[in-house]
C-alpha cells in the first residue's frame, strides 16, 4: 500500500511539474512592482488610438492582475504625452500607446519634443497598421475623383483637416502636396475626433483621416472617398482606389500603432509585458477592434519595431525637408 501511495505521489508531482512548465503564468514570474499600470495615450479620448488602448487595457488587466488606467495627455503632435512617459519612474508601470509619427516625423518637425525620441523611449510591441482615407465633404466639394479634386482645388483651395501637427493626417497632406498640384491649406485640430466632426459638418472640406471613423458617413453620402493612403485597398472600402490607382503618383502613407516604454525599464519587465501585449495583439478580440477601425494587425517584437521606427524616421525626414516645413 505504501508503494502504491508513493507511485501516486510521484505521478501527481510530475503532473504539476508539466503544468507549471507549460503555463506561461507559472513559468514566468511577475517582475512588475506593485501598483496600477498606466497606459498614456497622447491623443484625444474617443479617437482610434484611445479605443484600441482601452481594448488592450481590458485584456492586460486580467493578464497581469492589476488595474490598468488609460490617461489621455494630448498636445504637440503626441509629444506631451510621450514626454510624460519619459519622465515617469522607470519601474515598468507607465507605458505609451501611440502612432509611430511621434518618433519618426516629430523629431524633424519640433525643435524640442520634451524628451529624446532616439534614446529615452523605445518601442516594445507593434499593434496595428493605420490606413488613411482621403475624403471630401460631398456638399461642398463636387469632385468625384482625384483629377477632378485637383482641378477643383485650383479654383478654390481646400482646407485639409488633421488631428494636429505631425499626426498622420498632416504628414499625408504635406506628402501629397510635394508630389502633386493639389492646392490647399492645413487645418490642425487637437485630435482626430474633432477633425472628423468638422469634416462631416462642412467646416473643412477635405482631410486624411483614419478610414474606420468615416465608414457610416461615406455610406450615407455625407462624405466622398477619393483614395486610401496604402498600397492595397482596405476591406471597409473595397471600391475606393489606392492612391496609385486613383492617379496619385509616388505616394503612399502608412503608419503603425505601437506600445512604448522608457528605455531604462528593466529588460525582464519589457519582455514580460511585451509578451502579454503581443498575445493580446494576436487575440480575436483585438483583431476585431482593429478591423472595425479599418486597421490591420501589426504584431512586431522589440527588434522589429525598432527597425521600423528607424526606417520611417529617415523616410519622413526626407519628406518633411522637401516640403520645407519649419521647425516648431
Is the per-residue pLDDT at 139 higher than 80? yes
pLDDT for residue 17: 39
- Nearest one of 323, 301, 313 to 116, comparing CA atoms: 313
Going by the DSSP 8-state scheme, the letter that residue 206 receives in this structure is: E
pLDDT for residue 24: 43
Grid coordinates standing for 204?
473643412
- The C-alpha R_g of the chain, in whole angstroms, comes to 23
With cut-offs at 50, 70 and 90, classify the pLDDT of residue 228.
very high
pLDDT for residue 236: 79
* Cα–Cα distance measured from residue 237 to residue 229, given in angstroms and rounded to the nearest whole number: 12
Residue with cell 499593434: 127
The whole-model pTM stands at 0.79
pLDDT for 155-209, tens place per residue? 999 999 998 877 889 999 999 999 999 999 999 988 778 999 999 999 999 999 8
Start and end residues for every CATH 3.40.190.150 domain found in the chain: 26-127+256-323
CB 160, CB 184: distance < 8 Å: yes
- Nearest one of 245, 200, 206, 205 to 227, comparing CA atoms: 245
* Cα–Cα distance measured from residue 149 to residue 169, given in angstroms and rounded to the nearest whole number: 18
Start and end residues for every CATH 3.40.190.10 domain found in the chain: 131-246
pLDDT for residue 18: 41
* Average pLDDT score, the chain: 89
Q: Which fold has domain 26-127+256-323?
A: D-Maltodextrin-Binding Protein; domain 2 (3.40.190)
pLDDT for 242-277, tens place per residue? 999 999 998 989 899 999 999 999 999 999 999 999
pLDDT for residue 8: 45
List alpha helices for 187-326, DSSP H: 192-201, 215-220, 243-246, 267-281, 284-292, 302-323
Q: Say which CATH architecture domain 131-246 belongs to.
A: 3-Layer(aba) Sandwich (3.40)
pLDDT over 90 percentage in the chain: 70
pLDDT for residue 3: 52
Amino acid at each position: 500500500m505504501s508503494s502504491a501511495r508513493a507511485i501516486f505521489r510521484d505521478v501527481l508531482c510530475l503532473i504539476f511539474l508539466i503544468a507549471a512548465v507549460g503555463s506561461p503564468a507559472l513559468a514566468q514570474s511577475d517582475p512588475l512592482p506593485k501598483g496600477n499600470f498606466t497606459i498614456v495615450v497622447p491623443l484625444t479620448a474617443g479617437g482610434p488610438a484611445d479605443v484600441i488602448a482601452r481594448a488592450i487595457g481590458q485584456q492586460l488587466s486580467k493578464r497581469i492582475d492589476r488595474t490598468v488606467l488609460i490617461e489621455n495627455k494630448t498636445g504637440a503632435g503626441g509629444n506631451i504625452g510621450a514626454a510624460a512617459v519619459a519622465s515617469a519612474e522607470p519601474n515598468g508601470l507607465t507605458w505609451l500607446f501611440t502612432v509611430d509619427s511621434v518618433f519618426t516625423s516629430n523629431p524633424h518637425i519640433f525643435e524640442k519634443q520634451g524628451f529624446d525620441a532616439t534614446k529615452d523611449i523605445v518601442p516594445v510591441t507593434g499593434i496595428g497598421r493605420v490606413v488613411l482615407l482621403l475624403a471630401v465633404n460631398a456638399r461642398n466639394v463636387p469632385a468625384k475623383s482625384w483629377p477632378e479634386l485637383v482641378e477643383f482645388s485650383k479654383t478654390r483651395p481646400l482646407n485639409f483637416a488633421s488631428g494636429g501637427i505631425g499626426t498622420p493626417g498632416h504628414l499625408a497632406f504635406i506628402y501629397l502636396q510635394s508630389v502633386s498640384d493639389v492646392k490647399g491649406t492645413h487645418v490642425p485640430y487637437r485630435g482626430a475626433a474633432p477633425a472628423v466632426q468638422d469634416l462631416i459638418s462642412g467646416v473643412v472640406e477635405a482631410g486624411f483621416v483614419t478610414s474606420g471613423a468615416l465608414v457610416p458617413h461615406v455610406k450615407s453620402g455625407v462624405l466622398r472617398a477619393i483614395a486610401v493612403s496604402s498600397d492595397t485597398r482596405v476591406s471597409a472600402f473595397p471600391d475606393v482606389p489606392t492612391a496609385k490607382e486613383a492617379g496619385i503618383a509616388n505616394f503612399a502613407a502608412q503608419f503603425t500603432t505601437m506600445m512604448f516604454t522608457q528605455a531604462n525599464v528593466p529588460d525582464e519587465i519589457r519582455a514580460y509585458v511585451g509578451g502579454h501585449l503581443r498575445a493580446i495583439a494576436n487575440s480575436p478580440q483585438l483583431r476585431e477592434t482593429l478591423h472595425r477601425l479599418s486597421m490591420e494587425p501589426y504584431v512586431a517584437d522589440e527588434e522589429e519595431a525598432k527597425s521600423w521606427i528607424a526606417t520611417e524616421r529617415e523616410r519622413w525626414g526626407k519628406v518633411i525637408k522637401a516640403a520645407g516645413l519649419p521647425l516648431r
